[in-house]
Amino acid sequence: MKLIRDINKILEKKISEKKMCLIAASLLELATEPIIRSELQEIDKHVKDFMSVLEGENASSVESALLTIYIHLHSAGATYASSEKELLMKWRGYKCHPGGLSPLIMAEQFIKPESIVADLGAGNGLQGLLLQRLYPHKKTLLIELSSEMIRIGRIFREVLRIPAQSVEWIHDDIINVSLDAADFVYLYRPAEPLDSGKELYQAIARKLAGVRKPLIIFSVADCLAPFLDEQFSMLFTDGHLTCFVKK
């Protein structure tokens, strides 16, 4: 804990933006936890590299080194049992893509204390857990096929000291899960938008259209837009993140 406190003091001096500082501190808490270090052999090197550039004055080097830690943590547990792999292949699904830090910052204006956030294809839940850490809210629903990634995600939640009642893991195919409770949905291109992948996007779009309340969607590397009906309008896109609203 002393190491984390010392690191946090350095971060507060070097990273002026409050949310980025909290993200960096959260990632370093995970990356320096012994149980997580035992799962990720290269993580110690990435932490050392980050601490080394943190002592310098190059802000872009600090950001790059932090992203390396983030990407490495995001990949933890990325394996699938044979039945899980079958479903992934059925939908032309992608295994594991990190959505980046900018969606975490942009979500601030949309996630309220009463929000229910759903992450479709959550992997080990890093993105959803960081959203819960940054903007504590009623519930984070993490929907994921891989039982191994869920195992890692449960460790992440404990390390980040997020209350168990604020996180619900759903080990299932996206198309089987109701999104009726959600008012904020996050996804990163869960499947290749071809053949059966199109069917997956159609199914997701139907579920989203059936939600009977206002809804915000954060779609990273967006393939969802062509499947959404006239209830949805685009709030923002920068080529990486596309945001939709359903009123």
Model confidence pLDDT, tens digit, residues 80-139: 899 988 888 887 777 778 899 999 999 999 999 999 999 999 999 999 999 999 999 999
Residues 200 and 179 in one domain: yes
Contact yes or no for 222/234 (Cβ under 8 A): no
Q: What is the mean pLDDT of residues 30-55?
A: 91
61 exposure class (CB count in 10 Å sphere: 0-12, 13-18, 19+): middle
Range of the domain at 220: 82-246
238 and 140 in one domain?
A: yes
**Across all residues in the chain, what is the average pLDDT?**
90
181-202 burial: b if 16+ Cβ within 10 Å, else e:
ebbbbbbbbbbebeeebbebbe
Residue 120 shares a structural domain with residue 218? yes
Residue 24 three-state SS: helix
Residues 152 and 235 in one domain: yes
Residues 124, 6 share a domain = no
Do 153 and 200 lie in a common domain?
A: yes
**Position 2 pLDDT exceeds 50:** no
CATH number at residue 134: 3.40.50.150
Same domain, 161 and 224: yes
Query: Is 11 within 8 Å of 18 (Cβ atoms)?
Result: no
Q: Quick one: 69 and 159 in the same domain? A: no
Stretch 130-152: mean pLDDT: 97
Is 127 in the same domain as 30? no
Last residue of a domain, one of 74, 109, 134: 74
Give the residue, 30 or 15, on which the prediction is more confident. Answer: 30
90 and 137 both lie in a single domain: yes
Tokens of 147: 């039982």
Could you tell me the two tokens for 9? Answer: 């003091």
Q: Are residues 42 and 139 both part of a single domain?
A: no
117 in Cβ contact with 182 (< 8 Å): yes
What lies within 8 Å, CB to CB, of 86 at 6+ separation is none
Q: Are residues 159 and 209 in the same domain?
A: yes
Sheet of 184-188, strands arranged across: 167-171, 139-144, 116-120, 184-188, 215-220, 241-246, 232-237
Q: How many domains does the chain have?
A: 2
Closest by alpha carbon to 133, among 25, 244, 216? 25
pLDDT at residue 17 tops 90: no
Structure tokens at 113: 């204390």
Structure tokens at 186: 């996050």
pLDDT digits (tens, 9 = 90+) for 182-226: 999 999 988 888 788 899 999 999 999 999 999 999 999 999 999
Residue where a domain terminates, one of 74, 96, 122 = 74
Domain boundary among 74, 95, 130: 74
